[in-house]
Structure 1
């Protein structure tokens, strides 16, 4: 059984800051610490000269927006970040993590998986999210990265451990060198699930539906894998409640944002 020995205040929380020129937010500390890294999560509305504009839907498979508009949004994001393209895949709430040695222009689609890893400059990675946890993993020693899509099924099947093993196998990454950020996702207060979800995650199941803090679960898994507590951060944002600037599946949105990360040099 997973023991959630993390208190609510144990892991440092951060609030992502806006990215200049594109509808996205980024880790407030990583830009200075890792100048070779581009990282962030898109937000739900593109800004125009007069204020909020059209929904900035990045979902290729969710059916929220016309496909040509979605592709135009991907192009706008890549141009704004000076990235030639992104590597992306259909997601199946599993634990497969693919290693990539090349990028490509536009959106480079690969077979279905829920995680990507690379040490290749220019091979930007992207996962779709709208309540699930985007997990950003950075190894600054070997300049290797992984980006994971962790819903409860992915967390239960060990996607974080698979991502760390992939980095270890391909880039000699040690868990103690890793910096890990759990990005914008649904918060524990908003995420009510059944006892079967607790059981699947190795937690004592409650007698009925109860709130679950999935980011806390993933943070506990990271500690169990050897990631240092002081190198783990959690976004303050919930994708559902408050003044959230993100799409939320539980909130009824069919549109999606992406989490993205790439090595620039």
Structure 2
């Protein structure tokens, strides 16, 4: 199926670039769909209060843009990784997982976010791809390391042969957390480390993309692009472009996708 990303996708969607021409990727923004407020306009998740007909129309357009079907996950802030196979029938209910990988060109990996960090993975030789949903719980639990291991296994490759792209998420000047989050990452109020800054008594500002980069680097990933932690990447700071749960809990979901041509 031909890909129509440049023709159909709105200009403010993100277009991750990977080194191998076989790898395609995109991340949606709020624009381009038919959902009405507060889900305007390109909400991709049903069951949030949006009109199911509008969600179905948005999902149909997404599939047309990426040129292949995707499979929804039931995301629970965990570390499970789902393998997409080209000939597998869609399950009756979405699998419970927070990451997805494939070596097939017949399907696209999709994860959804509205403040959490999306991370896309691709083998430099174009043999496998993956996508992970990394909120702080999944990140601390090892969802990125689990996804990396699955992509490496599919591609029969080392960690140094895997590229990662970090998408927009709640930024390091807006993500206020408690001591439980510090402890989950092996830090403490007395020694918070470089990824946490004091905000007010009992609260710290967490740098989610920096934590992700730190963990990916420790796992052997050398090539990372995308979210630098700069204000332009903050979902909470750009509610007109991004769905943000912290801005408005009744909101839609964006999707980050990666596939093999």
Structure-1 residue corresponding to 2:21: 35
RMSD value over aligned CA atoms?
2.5
Distance 1:216 1:108 in 2: 37
Deviation at 1:242, TM superposition (A): 4.3
Q: Residues 242 and 169 from structure 1, CA distance in 2 versus in 1: closer, same or farther, beyond 3 angstroms?
A: closer
Q: Residues 107 and 55 from structure 1, CA distance in 2 versus in 1: closer, same or farther, beyond 3 angstroms?
A: farther
Q: Deviations over 1:55-108 (max 9, x none)?
A: 1111224x141122111101011112322x102211010000112222679998
- Equivalent residues of 1:140, 1:178 under 8 A apart: yes
Structure-2 residue corresponding to 1:78: 63
Structure-2 residue corresponding to 1:255: 252
**How many positions carry a matched residue from both structures?**
237
Unaligned runs of 5+ in 2: 193-200
> SS of the counterpart of 2:70?
strand
Unaligned runs of 5+ in 1: 1-17
Out of 91, 116, 126, the position equivalent to 2:100 is: 116
Distance 1:28 1:98 in 2: 22
Deviation at 1:254, TM superposition (A): 1.9
> SS of the counterpart of 2:21?
coil
TM-score after normalising by structure 1: 0.81
Deviation at 1:197, TM superposition (A): 0.7
162-171 or 213-222: bigger deviation: 162-171
Whether 2:32 is the aligned partner of 1:46: answer yes
> SS of the counterpart of 2:172?
coil
Distance 1:60 1:97 in 2: 22
TM-score after normalising by structure 2: 0.82
Structure-1 residue corresponding to 2:209: 215
Deviation at 1:208, TM superposition (A): 1.1
> SS of the counterpart of 1:258?
strand
Q: Residues 161 and 247 from structure 1, CA distance in 2 versus in 1: closer, same or farther, beyond 3 angstroms?
A: same
